[in-house]
Structure 1
Amino acid sequence: MTPDAWDPADPAPWADESVGAQAPLDGDTTADVVVVGAGLTGLWAAYYLLDADPSLDVLLVDRGLTGQDERGLGACSSRVGLAPDALARRFGDAAARDARALLRDAVVEVGGVVAVEEIDCGFAFGGELLVAADDVALGRMLAAAHDAAAWGDEVHALDAAGVRERFGSDDVRGGSWSPDAARLSPGRLARGLRDVVLARGGRSVDHTPVVQAGAGAVLTTHGTVRAGIVVDTRPGGAPAEQAATIATAPLPAATWAAIGLERAELVAHSDGLRLVRTPDDRLVAGRARSGGSRAARLLDALSRRRASAPALHEALVDLLPALGEAPVTHAWRRPLAHPGALPQVTVLEEAPWRVARARSGGTGPAAANVAGRAVAELLTGSSSEWTAAPWVTHA
């Protein structure tokens, strides 16, 4: 695929249109729980609801395809939009430590569910490598590594040689590594969760746009679903910025020997690149928010819509010259989390109905797990560290 043929509307490599679509809603119906949105947050909510009470009649409603959560980067990380010190300023020190523990546990929880349910999504614990290309970024990373223990995090500061042992780029001043991250195929994870939910008696309807979701009912273009509990997982607020993302063809062993990432580490580079080695040995590169003295120039280039994928490829090859001849097979745009994004869970009591909103904040599979698990526990009457998280509110 040449740069002039890259279409940002193309699917990611883990999209699978061959999976059987569920039929659209066919007129009015009822359920115990209706979950609006069948991305990862909605699927986790349905999974934990049925785990807590297998007798529940849970219905997932999606405007697209259930389990087609395929536009992510493939990174399952405990890092979210707010650093621990920023969490502390918003919620207090104790709540920040609790929040960090929940996010670390969520990565482990995703891996545990994948193993128990035998979901083939290429999940692999490799940790996350932060790479600094200039002194400003390096100072920020080293300071965060120094403070990490105070928040319960394990972060190891690395000099340039330490980074290069894991990642084959000369554009390195140093960085840090944390074990609390894994790579996976988000599409295969979503489809695996869908299959588990359906096998446990859950239902889903596809290609059913929702007009309104409120107390006791969800109004769609195909009929009305009446339910005692409504869980709305659709993104809220302003539309998310779209980030350029590309994937290479599966790379040969010699190329991977030059790149590194033998343990499937995630990479976040200070120039605004995020890299993931996929289960089938592609390299996925995506734009991310960044800092450091060179970031503004690069992000300005990447933000130009028509040139974003070619500019991203140019930056990738500049960072990793071994990719100069590697073909790019996929180019797409993925939602970029808003600055400071966190999971959000809100429960509204409107007797005799309950309405809940659960959102990942656009910060990846771990945050989706946190939101889905918390809302399920709240709705089934459980009380735990998940329901006491600082991003859980009651109205």
Structure 2
Amino acid sequence: MNEIKNGDISFWYADIGGVPGYRPPLPGDIDVDICIVGGGFTGLWTAYYLTEARPDLSIAVIEKEFAGFGASGRNGGWCTGEFAWSRQKYLSSGSREGVIDFERQLRGTVAEVKRVTEKEGIDCDFRMTDLLTYACSPAQLERLEASYAEARAWDVPTDRIELIGAAEAKARINVANAQGALVRHNVARIQPAKLVRGLAEVVERRGVKIYEQTTVTRIGKGVVTTNRGTVRAQRIVRATEGFTHGIPGNEREWIPMNSAIVVTEPVPDALWREIGWDGYELLGDASHAYCYAQRTRGNRIAMGGRGVPYRYGSKTDVRGQTQLETIEKLKEILYRMLPQTRPLRLDHAWCGVLGVPRDWCTTSGLDADSGIAWAGGYVGLGVSTSNFSGQTLADLLLDKTTERTGLPWVNRRPRKWEPEPLRWLGVHTMYWLYHLADRNERAGGGRKTSRLATLANRITGR
């Protein structure tokens, strides 16, 4: 195997000249109106919309590493406005109309991110396109048909979603064994490191202070304690997503699920003519252990998926370095879907963590007694959902009642994850069953969805 760069945060930073230097740390004890813990998309979008509404506020963002160190600078660059897993589960905290409205507003975040990046001059390779989820067996096609029927039953408009047949699907991207594809329109491809770094620069110009190299050791009512000093604030935002387990008292709130990506060398024009992909669509499949991919601005293929899904005790990676077995699994996925790519060299591999609540549904809210707000648990759909989080948290922090603050994801409190070793066993069993279900479907000609996948969903409540 060729020498492949492993880690170094992500390829997205290599693409912009390397990992950035650090901003100065917290200089000591300070007082501000609002303190935001976490310098990723959630924290920065919140700061952005707060400054839009109240330019006079003093706001501090506290970040352990550098702004964009976590999932915000490592993800697959899908800006989709998609729902996090289950419409039905949101009915426990809202009406059908409220769930439909939530989904409608989430879809609008794609246009909102486009608007802000254009207004603020953030060059993040933003490109409007479609998301194509391919079925490569009859069982997968059956699942896509069910997803399409559910979306229509929940009033997702036809200009947003459609189902296409095998010939049209292969004409768009020449995926092996394509049986058809579910098409979601009006999504976007981005370069995530460019977006998060650009957003950080925008809020800094507006007067927001970003303190890096500063570790938060505790969050309490009106106070954030760090290794560099104490921040006192009327309102506090916990915007730590996949790293939330590291805040005392939140160890079992959301688990850090691992996801990894490999990126190829630039693809020659002749090979693109074989593959297609002329619309730079986002690409996924309907396997149980799903994948996600994009065609980058530099004409590479970035292919992502699950490797080792969860590390015991909620451990996280070291600056994006992933396991060799994960790289091999991602190569298998790339070659299975696009066998034309076998001659290509892989240039970079990395991983990161995403936050997963016990019910697999994203949430946001504000505790009125403590003044502590939160948002996250995006289950891998954070690029667009974090924008909506920022809008919603700004409303909540400023005590506004808006069409966002009454939506069913606000102030949801799913139960906590089980203690170890139960959660490690549960997550690893789930993904073992998913992989086994996919293998069984392929071995059996993919005629029926494997019951093992249903069992996997039951185990973890997905």
Task: Confirm or deny a common fold (TM above 0.5).
Answer: yes
After the TM superposition, which residues 166-245 of structure 1 pair with which residues of structure 2 at under 5 Å, given as runs? Answer: 166-235=172-241, 236=244, 237-245=253-261
* Percent sequence identity over aligned pairs: 29
Q: Secondary structure at the match of 2:368?
A: strand
Asked whether 1:253 is paired with 2:269, we answer yes
Match of 2:363 among 338, 341, 344: 344
Q: How does 1:55-204 map to 2 (within 5 A)?
A: 55-68=56-69, 69-85=72-88, 87-88=90-91, 91-153=94-156, 154-204=160-210
Match for residue 263 of structure 1?
Answer: 279
In structure 2, the partner of 1:355 is 372
Mapping for residues 248-327 of structure 1, pairs under 5 Å: 248-271=264-287, 272-287=290-305, 305-327=323-345
Distance verdict in 2 for CA 1:394–1:268, change over 3 Å: closer
Within 1, Cα distance between the matches of 2:61 and 2:324?
36
Q: Which residue identity lines up with residue 13 of structure 1 in the other structure?
A: F
Contact persistence 1:168–1:320 (CA under 8 A): yes
Q: Which runs of 5+ in 2 are unaligned?
A: 245-252, 308-321, 414-462
Q: Give distance in 1, aligned partners of 2:30 and 2:256.
A: 33
Query: Could you say which residue in structure 1 is the equivalent of 2:447?
Result: none
Deviation (angstroms), 1:354:
1.9
Alignment pair present for 1:45 and 2:46:
yes
Q: CA deviation at 1:18?
A: 5.0
Aligned 8 A contact 2:91 2:408 in 1: no
- Tell me whether 235-244 or 367-376 shows the greater mean CA deviation: 235-244
Give, in whole Å, the separation in 2 of the partners of 1:261 and 1:383: 44
Q: 2:269 and 2:354 mapped to 1: Cα distance?
A: 31
Q: Return the alpha-carbon distance in structure 1 between the equivalents of residues 404 and 347 of structure 2.
A: 40
Q: CA RMSD in A?
A: 2.3
Paired residue secondary structure (1:230): strand
CA offset at residue 318 of structure 1? 2.7
Q: Is the 8 A contact 2:83 2:103 kept in 1?
A: no
1:293 aligned partner? none
CA deviation profile, 1:239-294 (whole Å, cap 9, x unmatched): 322123101122232222222222221111123221111222221101159xxxxx
TM-score normalised by L of structure 1:
0.89
Give 2:55's aligned residue: 54
One-letter amino acid of the structure 1 residue matched with residue 238 of structure 2: D
CA offset at residue 337 of structure 1? 5.4
| Offset at residue 238 of structure 1 (A) | 4.5
AA aligned to 1:221 is: N
Instruction: Provide structure 1 residue ranges, at least 5 long, that are not aligned to the other structure.
Output: 290-303
Is the 8 Å Cα contact of residues 122 and 279 (structure 1) preserved in structure 2? Answer: yes
* Equivalent residues in 2 for 1:358-369, closer than 5 Å: 358-362=375-379, 363-369=381-387
Contact 1:145 1:156 in 2 (8 A): yes
Q: Partners of 1:310 and 1:328 in 2: how far apart?
A: 11
- Which is worse superposed, 159-168 or 234-243? 234-243
Q: Is the 8 A contact 1:233 1:359 kept in 2?
A: yes
Residue type matched to 1:52 in 2? A
Quote the residue 1:11 is aligned against: 9
> How far apart are 1:91 and its partner, in Å?
4.0
Following TM superposition, by how much is the alpha carbon of 1:383 offset from its aligned partner in structure 2, in angstroms?
Answer: 2.3
Alpha-carbon contact 2:355-2:376 (below 8 Å) kept:
no
Q: CA deviation at 1:119?
A: 0.6
